[in-house]
């Protein structure tokens, strides 16, 4: 990993406001074992955001950024919606696409990056809302999976169109009444994780963002499997507290309720055999690394008299 | 139809896009001065004179020269510093393009979403943008011309900016240095800088040090 990407030109560094010096000094780029625990002490993992206070999308964003295996070589593709309000604040390359087009843009981008940088692994990650992923963009989403495009699709599932005031979405639960969908939804929540599995995704995970370590693991696996094998999909429940009438502090409880037994968001994963093999290899490698580090530490310890 | 002139503002809340008024971009080797296409050499002298006549001449370096993303960025940063020292001019960075709320520190930085705040606060009368991505420079140049009387210039790395009062194109270390040479030449000929005295703000992660 390379931290040089976010260093300052020495000749002009002294005119830069303090926050940029701090951004560089606390950056986790290049840090071995970076992860969600760096949130709060590293400026690049979004200090400010422009979402509603307490919106779970904001913490989901942070967990995702902290979990990227190679942030300096990652490009996000976003789409219109509440998520797009955060992209101007992140220290990772990103492209905004026309609403619904995100997986088509990502397909072209990934292929182009492969040609342009044949010797560097460039990860492409789509991050869009449920309206963009499942309704207006479903064609592009699924076609990219059929074609086995090698990138990760992350959907922030808040079960409605939040940014435009609460319209019905395919991922909304049956019977739900939203501000701009007063008649109530009359069909079931679309089962996109199952569709993703059938459409060729090698790794599919659906979970809430209540537990950072789970999110970190799912994102890491999704990105690595997309890099090595083929398309992956992660659906994260990020409830729109504004639309469901919750206070800023209540997002976490809402997610915990939704993931408890019998809830809509009990964590599930679908993993292809090929992807499972890769996960096993990665875990074995990680274990070996930890063991070696432990032994090295032991060897260094002075023998007490 | 008489040619539209890209004069310093204020051009009111919504200045017309200079391109829509018939202003075209210069070809390589050229610049535009208030909308008139001129040889680049003429632009250096014009820009240098404007800077030396100014009370608060200011350089706005953007992300492309502030961040060490390639070797050329470092070289450009060096040339910009030398230009600022030669004039002298203030250096105020446009470090990124985030909309910053509640408010930027208008004395020490400029932001493309409300660049007029920095111009007003520091009473900047002549400025140059260098190393700012095109679309953000366009936005800032229009807002400045809309609401302030600052004479704007652009040292553009691409094809130039219609909405600057003066625009170079294909910015390079050599071109920044040529502008500095033009300043030094005028000074030698007896043109004196009219800049008010100032202290360049300097900062580290713990705050201002100058
Ligand atoms: C092509 C296009 N159609 C419609 C819109 C209007 N629009 C903006 S945001 C949005 C809904 C976003 O919903 P979702 O993807 O679920 O994101 P959320 O805001 O809920 O995070 C829509 C329909 C648009 N910007 N572009
Ligand atoms: S409208 Fe809902 S999803 Fe959007 S920022 Fe506010 S709480 Fe979050
Ligand atoms: Mg939504």
Ligand 2 pocket, residues with Cβ under 6 angstroms: A 51-52, 55, 57, 82, 158, 162-163, 240-243
Residue whose entry in the numeric block shows the structure tokens 């040529």: B178
Which residues have CB under 8 Å from B100's CB, separation 6+? B111, B113
Which residues have CB under 8 Å from A31's CB, separation 6+? A1, A38
- The pLDDT assigned to A2 comes to 58
**B89–chain A Cβ distance below 8 A for any pair:** no
- The pLDDT assigned to A156 comes to 98
Number of H helices, E strands in chain B: 6, 9
The four Cα atoms A2, A7, A11, A17 give a dihedral, to 10 degrees, of: 180
Kindly list the residues from chain A whose CB atom is less than 8 angstroms away from the CB atom of residue B69.
5
Contact A56, A215 (CB under 8 A): no
A49: number of Cβ within 10 Å: 18
Domain map (residue ranges) of chain B: 35-127+139-167+177-188
Residue of A84, A98, A99 with the most ligand 1 atoms within 8 Å of its CB, for mutation: A99
pLDDT tens for residues B48-88?
999 999 999 999 999 999 999 899 999 999 999 999 999 99
pLDDT tens for residues A50-97?
899 999 999 999 999 999 999 989 999 999 999 998 988 888 899 999
- The pLDDT assigned to A1 comes to 40
**Could you give the CA distance from residue A221 to residue A176 in angstroms, rounded to a whole number?**
33
Contact A56, A62 (CB under 8 A): no
- Rounded to 5 degrees, φ, ψ at B203 are -140, 150
Q: Which of B69, B99, B206 minimises the CB distance to A18?
A: B206
Burial of A273 (0-12, 13-18, 19+ CB in 10 A): exposed
Give the DSSP H/E element, type plus range, for residue A95. Answer: strand A93-96
Give the residue among A174, A193, A177 at the shortest CA–CA distance from A134: A193
**Could you give the CA distance from residue B113 to residue B116 in angstroms, rounded to a whole number?**
9
Nearest CA distance, B140 vs chain A (angstrom): 17
**Could you give the CA distance from residue A109 to residue A103 in angstroms, rounded to a whole number?**
10
Which residues have CB under 8 Å from A291's CB, separation 6+? none
Q: What angle do CA A79, A80, A83 make, to 5 degrees?
A: 80
| Lowest mean pLDDT, pick from A10-14, B9-13, B27-31, B137-141 | B9-13
Average pLDDT over chain B, rounded to whole?
Answer: 95
| Nearest CA residue ID for atom 11, ligand 1 | A161
- The pLDDT assigned to A3 comes to 66
**Could you give the CA distance from residue A61 to residue A85 in angstroms, rounded to a whole number?**
11
pLDDT tens, chain A, 305 aa long? 456 667 999 999 999 999 999 989 988 888 888 999 999 888 888 878 889 999 999 999 999 999 999 998 999 999 999 999 898 888 889 999 999 999 999 999 999 999 999 999 999 999 999 999 999 999 999 999 999 999 999 999 999 999 999 999 999 999 999 999 999 999 999 999 999 999 999 999 999 999 999 999 999 999 999 999 999 999 999 999 999 999 999 999 999 999 999 999 999 999 999 999 999 999 999 999 999 989 998 888 766 55
Nearest CA distance, B121 vs chain A (angstrom): 17
Ordered by where they begin, the domains of chain A are 13-298 (3.40.50.970)
A212 Rama sector, left if φ>0, alpha if ψ -120 to 50, beta otherwise:
alpha
Give the DSSP H/E element, type plus range, for residue A75. Answer: strand A74-78
Cβ contact (<8 Å) for A17 and B95? yes
Q: Which fold has domain B35-127+139-167+177-188?
A: Rossmann fold (3.40.50)
**In this model, does residue B1 exceed pLDDT 70?**
no
Residue whose entry in the numeric block shows the structure tokens 């000749």: A11
**Could you give the CA distance from residue A127 to residue A235 in angstroms, rounded to a whole number?**
10
**Could you give the CA distance from residue A100 to residue A102 in angstroms, rounded to a whole number?**
6
Q: Is the dihedral of CA A289, A290, A293, A298 positive or negative?
A: negative
Q: Where are the beta strands (DSSP E) in chain B?
A: 30-33, 36-39, 57-61, 90-91, 126-130, 151-155, 166-168, 203-204, 207-208
Lookup: tokens for B6:
């890209």
**Could you give the CA distance from residue A225 to residue A232 in angstroms, rounded to a whole number?**
7
- The pLDDT assigned to A304 comes to 59
Ligand 1 atom with the smallest distance to the CA of A169 is 16
Which ligand minimizes its atom distance to the CA of A141?
1
State the pLDDT confidence band at B13, using cuts at 50, 70 and 90: confident
């Amino acid at each position: 990993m390379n931290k040089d990407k976010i260093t300052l030109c020495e000749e002009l560094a002294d005119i830069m406001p303090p926050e940029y010096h701090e951004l560089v000094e606390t950056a986790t780029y290049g840090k071995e074992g970076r992860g969600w625990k760096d949130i709060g002490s590293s400026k690049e993992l979004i200090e400010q955001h422009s979402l509603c206070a307490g919106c779970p999308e904001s913490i989901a964003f942070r967990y995702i950024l902290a979990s990227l295996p190679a942030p300096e070589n990652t490009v996000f593709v976003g789409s219109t919606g509440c998520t797009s309000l955060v992209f101007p604040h992140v220290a990772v390359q990103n492209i905004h696409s026309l609403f619904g087009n995100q997986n088509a843009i990502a397909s072209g981008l990934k292929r182009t990056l492969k040609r342009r940088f044949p010797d560097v692994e460039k990860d492409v990650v789509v991050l869009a809302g449920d309206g963009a992923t499942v309704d207006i963009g479903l064609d592009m989403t699924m076609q990219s999976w059929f074609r086995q495009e090698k990138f990760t699709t992350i959907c922030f599932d808040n079960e409605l169109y939040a940014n435009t005031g609460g319209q019905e979405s395919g991922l909304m639960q049956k019977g739900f009444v939203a501000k701009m969908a007063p008649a109530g939804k009359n069909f079931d929540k679309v089962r996109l994780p199952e569709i993703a599995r059938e459409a060729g995704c090698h790794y599919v995970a659906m979970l809430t963002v209540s537990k950072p370590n789970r999110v970190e693991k799912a994102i890491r696996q999704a990105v690595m499997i997309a890099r090595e094998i083929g398309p992956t999909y992660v659906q994260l429940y990020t409830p729109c507290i504004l639309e469901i009438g919750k206070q800023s502090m209540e997002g976490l409880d809402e997610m915990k309720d939704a993931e408890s037994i019998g809830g809509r968001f009990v964590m599930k994963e679908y993993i292809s055999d090929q992807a499972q093999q890769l996960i096993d290899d990665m875990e074995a490698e990680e274990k070996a690394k930890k063991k070696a580090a432990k032994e090295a530490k032991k060897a260094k310890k002075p023998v007490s008299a | 139809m008489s040619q539209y002139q890209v004069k310093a503002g204020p051009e009111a809340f919504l200045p017309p896009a200079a391109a829509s008024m018939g202003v075209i971009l210069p070809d390589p080797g050229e610049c535009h001065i208030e909308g008139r296409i001129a040889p680049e050499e003429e632009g250096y002298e014009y820009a240098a004179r404007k800077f030396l006549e100014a009370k608060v001449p200011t350089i706005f370096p953007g992300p492309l020269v502030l961040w060490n993303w390639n070797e050329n960025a470092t070289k450009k940063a060096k040339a910009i510093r030398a230009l600022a020292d030669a004039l002298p001019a203030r250096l105020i960075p446009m470090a990124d393009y985030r909309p910053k709320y509640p408010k930027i520190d208008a004395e020490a930085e400029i932001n493309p979403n409300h660049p007029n705040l920095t111009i007003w606060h520091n009473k900047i009368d002549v400025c140059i943008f260098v190393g700012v991505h095109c679309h953000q420079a366009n936005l800032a140049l229009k807002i400045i011309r809309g609401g302030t009387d600052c004479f704007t210039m652009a040292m553009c790395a691409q094809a130039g900016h219609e909405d600057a009062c003066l625009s170079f194109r294909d910015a390079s270390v050599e071109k920044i240095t040529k502008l500095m040479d033009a300043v030094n030449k005028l000074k030698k000929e007896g043109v004196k800088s009219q800049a008010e005295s100032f202290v360049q703000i300097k900062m580290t992660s713990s705050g201002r040090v100058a």
